[in-house]
A = this chain, B = another copy of it.
Amino acid sequence: MIDIIRPTLVLDKDVCINNIEKMAQKASKYNLRFRPHFKTHQSAKIGEWFKLFGVDAITVSSVQMAEYFASHGWDDITIAFPVNILEIENINRLAAAIKLNIIVENKEGLLALTQKISSPLGIYIKIDTGSNRSGILPGKINIIEALIKLTGTNKHLLFKGFLAHSGHTYQTKSPYEVFSLHFDALMKMKSLKQRYKHIFPHLEISIGDTPSISICDNFNGVDEIRPGNFVFYDLMQYKIGACTIEDIAIRLVSPVVAIQSSRNEVVIYGGAIHLSKEPLLNINGKDMYGRVIVTHNGKKILLGELNYVMRLSQEHGILKVMQKNLKYFTVGSLVEILPVHSCLTANLMRRYLTTEGEEIPTMNY
């Protein structure tokens, strides 16, 4: 870790590639199209690593992100975000250039597409399997059929199937809860597939969340998976049971700038603008923003859960550590923080330094 002098997002490329490989193998085993979500890493370079495992289709969360990856050679992209009518010209331009899919969940968004789109565009209807974010409840057949019908009014729009993101799995605390939510989502999606398959024989079911796809082994009726977070994983995924600590591929390396021994606290240069303010409930019932790895006699030691980032201001992070572990901290040394939510940390940091010393920018750098 030579040359790190300020908060730096270090990426273990081997761990990352291993995460990609395992997910690609899982997709292959269950005969699923692997369309990884690139919103977590947001990097053309990391995107290249997916190609080693045959990935040629991706998911993104914004039109801008689609434009970025299209400019880096990706020509089959699903924008897994409800149509933003105000960006319809950008969507139309992109549809003319690559194989593009988008999701709809209301008449207004789809109507705008039927009026403006002049190149082939795949349409997925977003189903709300329980996350209550966006999407149509699976029982709202009238609305679903009105959207399917409306799609048919523009010959460039192709109804491709139903798409879900069971984001409520992120709130779970055990694999058993994930099993249950995933099974429930599968039932809902399969019933829709069965209802419409005779009219649309190529109709697809696409599902997305990293917890379900990491933990579960039943993908009956599913055609495509779109996990994103698995590329790095994080403490939230670890808590759910979707990964091991060793699977977490990124960490914020931060300088120690102060030690408050009387309070068993350590102050690091690394705050809310580096890690993000997304908290996770620690075993002591308090909010935490990361776990701590120290280097001692050349060896890395992951400290226990009662040693954690307990508070963040703009540039400062405050670690609460057990008194016996204060010995591992010296002002001017570096510590490593495992992030709670890698998507938000990566978005803030905007570039990676691999353990091999390579600097990798994201689309925002």
Contacts and interface: CB of A to CB of B under 8 A. Distances in A.
Contacts of A112: 332
Interface stretch (A79-87, A296-304, A352-360): A79-87
A84 B267 contact: no
Given A109-B331, A276-B276, A84 B269 contact: yes
Q: How large is the interface on A (under 10, 10 to 19, 20 to 34, 35 or more residues)?
A: 35 or more
A242 interface: no
A263 interface: yes
A4 interface: yes
B258 A331 contact: no
Interface string A61-103: 1111000000000000000011111110010000000000000
A288 interface: no
Contacts of A82: 257-258, 267
Interface stretch (A45-53, A183-191, A310-318): A310-318
Nearest to A128: B260
Interface stretch (A24-32, A156-164, A193-201, A342-350): A342-350
A180 to B, nearest CB: 21
Contacts of A6: 62-64, 84, 86-87
Q: Is the interface of A mostly helix, strand, loop or mixed?
A: mixed
Contacts of A61: 314-315
Contacts of A132: 260, 263, 265
Nearest to A340: B277
A177 interface: no
Interface string A97-125: 00000000110110010000000000000
A272 interface: yes
A83 B257 contact: yes
A86 B344 contact: no
Given A81-B257, A86-B332, A277-B278, 5 more contacts: A61-B315, A62-B315, A85-B255, A87-B255, A272-B344
Interface of A: 4-6, 39, 61-64, 81-87, 90, 105-106, 108-109, 112, 132-134, 167, 255, 257-260, 263, 265, 267, 269, 272-273, 276-279, 311, 313-316, 318, 330-332, 334, 343-344, 347-348, 350, 364
